[in-house]
């Protein structure tokens, strides 16, 4: 069974700060998803990656397959980035996705 | 292009009843997966359907079932509802089975009284 751990659970930062959210998993996987959930429930897929690094606007996601670790970075954070960020591992002996508990991010103006 | 549509948005049921939730994927997407989200357990995978066949199933009791139709629309059914089934039920669609970017619906908020 794959265990997916996220840190930190909660993060409050000032507008403009560089944000890092971490995700580690216990079993080798085929891909890792980063999701964003705003209040009200809507979930948006930010990245799906199986190796290396991906960038979209101010968001960067990296994964280290050997260390079983992924990070999500937000540069020049903005209050609209306030949301819950969730990582989810695909494969690793489990059917479907295994989710982390999420990181609740608040960016203060 | 329309997104993933889930109906109904809210549902209130009593213990022992059964419920059916619907999910219409993005046009052309053949994979539909279902998830349960609760404050205590977070997001959990229920099952995935591709081409009308269940491909994967999470660790949920047999009261939770689903199906997919030839137009890729999917339904999930929960029989003999329990209080603990109160949750946000989300579906997601993707082009391919088991991988590929996921597109989520807004979810169905189920309350069991």
The DSSP 8-state label assigned to residue B39 in this structure reads: T
pLDDT at residue number B99: 67
Is pLDDT at A105 greater than 90 in this prediction?
yes
Is pLDDT at B1 greater than 70 in this prediction?
no
For residue A27, the distance in angstroms to the closest alpha carbon of chain B comes to 17
Please compute the mean of the pLDDT values over residues A12-27 and round it to a whole number: 96
- Cross-chain Cβ contact B42/A101 below 8 Å: yes
**Is A49 buried (19+), middle (13-18) or exposed (0-12) by CB count in 10 A?**
middle
Is pLDDT at B6 greater than 90 in this prediction?
yes
Please compute the mean of the pLDDT values over residues B9-33 and round it to a whole number: 96
**Length of chain B, please?**
113
Residues on chain A touching B98 (C-beta within 8 angstroms): 30, 90
- Cross-chain Cβ contact A45/B101 below 8 Å: yes
Q: Are A22 and A69 in contact (CB under 8 A)?
A: yes
* Interval B35-65: pLDDT, tens: 999 999 999 999 999 999 998 899 999 999 9
Band (A94; pLDDT cuts 50, 70, 90): low
Residues on chain A touching B103 (C-beta within 8 angstroms): 45
- Cross-chain Cβ contact A96/B58 below 8 Å: yes
Is pLDDT at A93 greater than 70 in this prediction?
no
């Amino acid at each position: 069974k794959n265990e997916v751990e996220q840190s930190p659970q909660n993060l409050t930062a000032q507008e403009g700060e560089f944000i890092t959210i971490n995700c580690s998993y216990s079993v080798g996987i085929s891909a890792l998803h980063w999701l964003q959930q705003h209040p009200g429930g809507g979930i948006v897929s930010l990245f799906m990656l199986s190796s290396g690094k991906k960038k979209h606007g101010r968001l960067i996601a990296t994964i280290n397959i050997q260390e079983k670790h992924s990070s999500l970075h937000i540069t020049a954070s903005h209050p609209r980035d306030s949301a819950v960020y969730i990582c989810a591992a695909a494969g690793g002996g489990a059917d479907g996705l295994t989710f982390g508990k999420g990181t609740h991010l608040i960016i203060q103006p | 292009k329309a997104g993933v549509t889930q109906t109904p948005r809210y549902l209130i049921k009593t213990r022992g009843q059964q419920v059916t939730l619907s999910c219409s994927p993005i046009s052309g997407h053949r994979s539909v997966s279902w998830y349960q989200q609760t404050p205590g357990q977070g997001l959990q995978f229920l099952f995935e359907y591709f081409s009308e066949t269940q491909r994967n199933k999470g660790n949920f009791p047999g009261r939770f079932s689903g199906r997919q139709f030839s137009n890729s629309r999917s339904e999930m059914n929960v029989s003999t509802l329990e209080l603990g089934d109160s949750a946000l039920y989300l579906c997601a669609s993707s082009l391919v089975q088991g991988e590929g970017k996921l597109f989520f619906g807004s979810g169905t908020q189920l309350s069991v009284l």
